[in-house]
């Protein structure tokens, strides 16, 4: 069966510091991968998606970037965090039946 991992689970970072969040999927190959952000009490905002190694599509221009160095690894990064980057970051992958499955999420607080 497929499993999706995210780490870290929680993170507190100062404004201006760098960020690296990692997502890995097990039990499937060549998945479409997604990064979403959820501000407190809000809905899901799609940030990036990837259909293959090295292929990244950005939905929202901001100070975040994403990379996919391996088939089942998806990384979200920032060189300098802003206060507005605080939120709950969710990684997801999509199966052949178009169903998205989500990881446990990373709760980021920027102070």
Partner 1 sequence: AQKVTQAQTEISVVEKEDVTLDCVYETRDTTYYLFWYKQPPSGELVFLIRRNSFDEQNEISGRYSWNFQKSTSSFNFTITASQVVDSAVYFCALNTGGFKTIFGAGTRLFVKA
- Contacting positions for partner 1 (CB under 8 A): 32, 42-44, 46, 49, 51, 57, 88, 90, 92, 94, 97-105, 107
The CA distance from 51 to 39, in Å, is 25
CA distance 78 to 71: 21
Which is nearest to 71 in space by CA: 5, 35, 24?
Answer: 24
Nearer to partner 1, 11 or 44 (CB): 44
CB 47 to partner 1: min, Å: 12
How far, in Å, are 57, 61 from residue 90 at the CA level? 16, 18
CB nearer partner 1, residue 78 or residue 103: 103
Write out the two tokens for 27: 């039990």
Comparing C-alpha atoms, which of 45, 101, 35 is closest to residue 73?
Answer: 35
Q: Which residue number, 32 or 65, has a Cβ lying nearer to partner 1?
A: 32
In whole angstroms, the minimum distance from the beta carbon of 16 to partner 1 comes to: 26
CA 102 to chain centre: 10
Query: Smallest distance from the beta carbon of 70 to partner 1, in angstroms?
Result: 19
């Amino acid at each position: 069966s497929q499993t999706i991992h995210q780490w870290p689970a929680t993170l507190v970072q100062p404004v201006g510091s760098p960020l690296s969040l990692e997502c890995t999927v097990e039990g499937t190959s060549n998945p479409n991968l997604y990064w979403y952000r959820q501000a407190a009490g809000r809905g899901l905002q799609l940030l990036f998606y990837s259909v293959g190694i090295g292929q990244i599509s950005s939905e929202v221009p901001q100070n975040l970037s994403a990379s996919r160095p391996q088939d089942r690894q998806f990384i979200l990064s920032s060189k300098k965090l802003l206060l507005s980057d605080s939120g709950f970051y969710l990684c997801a992958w999509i199966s052949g039946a178009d169903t998205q499955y989500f990881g446990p999420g990373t709760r980021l607080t920027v102070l």
